[in-house]
Amino acid sequence: MSIGSKIQELQNDLPKSVTLVAVSKTKPVSDIQEAYDAGQRIFGENKIQEMASKWEVLPKDISWHMIGHVQRNKVKYMAEFVDLIHGVDNFKLLKEINKQAKKHDRVINCLLQIKIAEEDSKFGMSAEEATTLLASEAFQELENITIVGVMGMATFTDNLTQVQQEFRKLKDTFDSLQIIHECLEVISMGMSGDYQLAIEEGSTMVRIGNSIFGARNYHS
């Protein structure tokens, strides 16, 4: 099945309340263009400079999402165009995004990455840390960022009960944070292997790559 057909199938399959982020990391511009031609407008990348090089040559109505771990010294390379940064896991990073957004007279949307998995390799803050951040005076002073929701990555496991519990934890965290920060509306959770379960547990945004573009080639 072609990339375009897979995009259309997913768009028909997903509830209207769920946004599809096509994860195009490591994939060539031609693959992204094919997905674009099928109607997809939101693409996710996990390396800032790779995303910036694709932004330069692809249609300008694409909404670029940074879904990987973000290094503060590289924020400047995407501040001009990025639409949503998924992986904000500390206040220093938020301050840097705010600083770089201000240089371009923009307000950049961000998601707080909550650690829901047991794996040490996964980044993210605790629900308590997120609550403290959103309630702080220092956060209120940041005028060039908007926290619009939360993001989480489940443990890489075949144990669907565990994955379900981790997704549920993110939804519970979202609900509690929404009480103190009413403009939260995005719950970014679920990937190719578990997005249907994520949607059942309240996801409003899924990040799907392999099911669209096939397995990634990290050696090209």
> For the segment 21-56, what is each residue's pLDDT rounded down to a tens digit?
999 999 999 999 999 999 999 999 999 999 999 999
pTM value is: 0.94
Average pLDDT on 66-75 reads: 95
Q: What is the CA radius of gyration of the chain?
A: 17
* Domains of the chain by residue range: 3-213
29-37 vs 48-57: helix axis angle to the nearest 10?
Answer: 60
Q: How far apart are CA 4 and CA 7, in angstroms?
A: 5
Tally the C-alpha atoms within 13 A of residue 43's C-alpha that lie toward its C-beta.
33
CATH of 3-213 among 3.40.50.12280, 3.40.47.10, 3.40.50.2300, 3.20.20.10: 3.20.20.10
- Helix, strand or coil, per DSSP, at residue 126: coil
How do 84-88 and 19-23 pair as beta strands? Answer: unpaired
Q: Are 190 and 206 in contact (CB under 8 A)?
A: yes
Percentage, residues of the chain above pLDDT 90: 88
Residue 20 has pLDDT above 70, yes or no: yes
